[in-house]
Amino acid sequence: MGSVQLRVVVAGPFAPEDVALIAEREPRLELVHETSLLPDPRSDWMARHERSPEEQARFEALVDTAEALLGVPDGSGRALARAVAANPRLRWVHTIPAGGGQQVRAAGLSAVELERVVFTTSAGVHAGPLSEFALLGVLAGLKQLPQLQADQRAHHWPPRRRPGALSDATVAVVGLGAIGRMTALRLAQLGARVIGVHRRPVDAAGVAEIRPVEELPAVLAEADAVVLALPGTELTRGMLGRTALDAARPGLIVVNVGRGTTLDEEALIEALQDGRVGFAALDVFAREPLDPASPLWDLPNVLISPHSATWSPHEPRRIAELFAENARRLLDGELMLNVVNTVEFY
């Protein structure tokens, strides 16, 4: 049980205690963790580490000894393509983001390379924090947070308003993966009626009904809020666009915790300006960082989060636990968790 069977090179910003947890959970791994060549573990997962040419050569040489990588080198598709091409022994890469399939897509790997290497993601690890942000967004819209803040800044005591109540609301959750399912459950536990929008039937606690994606405009016509929890694929690009927003109930609350490409930002801006959308809480954007010239920054009915709603102090530990479990499955010949679909890359 304890003999080394897989050489793992840590290519992401993990703290020594997280790597030690992996070693404890799965002792058959040889874990190589050169912290001097990696970003500070307190930094963002996508942070790049400035290396001298000599350090870069040493880092790449180390990566090329791996049978498995914990993290895509520098979060870069180009660096991943180089690593896969240079190392025929590489058999598994764990991408740190839940949407790590897009890093794999960016590498432009051949069919042979995609067949040789298994790619997995950290999907599910972020479901708790993201579902909390989704609740924040829906509640902020229902409780008229922008108006409350504006009145407070103006020292203005207005006539009594009539904010919405989650227990009276219908919320559409688009995408019933781990994030969407947890969001739906938490909304339902607080009394909302939840309609799931998904391309196939799934088990989702708290969801009153599941409708196909083709019916999204009809669903929005009866919804008070919509939460996007979709992966970024060609099939989901611009799914919430003009057609759906034109059909929406006036004052719709829009929350996006999936991928920025799933929402047509230009159409959303127009809808926010004319009242079809009453409030939007956005953690992700089509291009990041969000352009300083984007009207979204200045619209009073928008809450912007800089793609940080996934974060929790326990996130690295949970990713380490997931990696250790997948390592066990790989070595024991079992199906691995969160394997990337290398056709749609999610």
Percentage of residues in the chain with pLDDT exceeding 70?
98
Q: What is the DSSP string of 106-160?
A: HHT--HHHHHHSEEE--TTTTHHHHHHHHHHHHHHHHTTHHHHHHHHHTT--PSP
Amino acid 45: pLDDT: 65
Of 259, 265, 276, 315, which one is the catalytic site residue? 259
Please indicate whether residue 156 is annotated as part of the active site. Answer: no
Instruction: Tell me the mean pLDDT in the region 157-165.
Output: 94
Nearest to 280 by CA among 227, 217, 330: 227
Amino acid 99: pLDDT: 86
Nearest to 84 by CA among 342, 346, 343: 342
Please indicate whether residue 307 is annotated as part of the active site. Answer: yes
Q: What angle do CA 264, 185, 276 make, to 5 degrees?
A: 30
Confidence of residue 313 (pLDDT cuts 50, 70, 90): confident
Of 24, 266, 288, 334, which one is the catalytic site residue? 288
pLDDT in tens, 261-281: 999 999 999 999 999 999 999
What CA–CA distance (Å, rounded) separates 268 from 282? 11
Residue 310 contacts residue 124 (beta carbons within 8 Å): no
Confidence of residue 98 (pLDDT cuts 50, 70, 90): confident
What CA–CA distance (Å, rounded) separates 163 from 70? 47
pLDDT at 2 over 80: no
> What residues pair up with 157 in beta bridges, in sequence order?
none
Q: What is the mean pLDDT of the chain?
A: 96
Entry pTM? 0.91
The verdict on domain 6-124+312-331 having CATH code 3.40.50.2000 is: no
Amino acid 49: pLDDT: 84
What CA–CA distance (Å, rounded) separates 102 from 83? 17
pLDDT at 108 over 90: yes
pLDDT at 91 over 80: yes
pLDDT at 1 over 60: no
CATH number of 127-304: 3.40.50.720
List where CATH 3.40.50.720 sits in the chain.
6-124+312-331, 127-304
Amino acid 227: pLDDT: 98
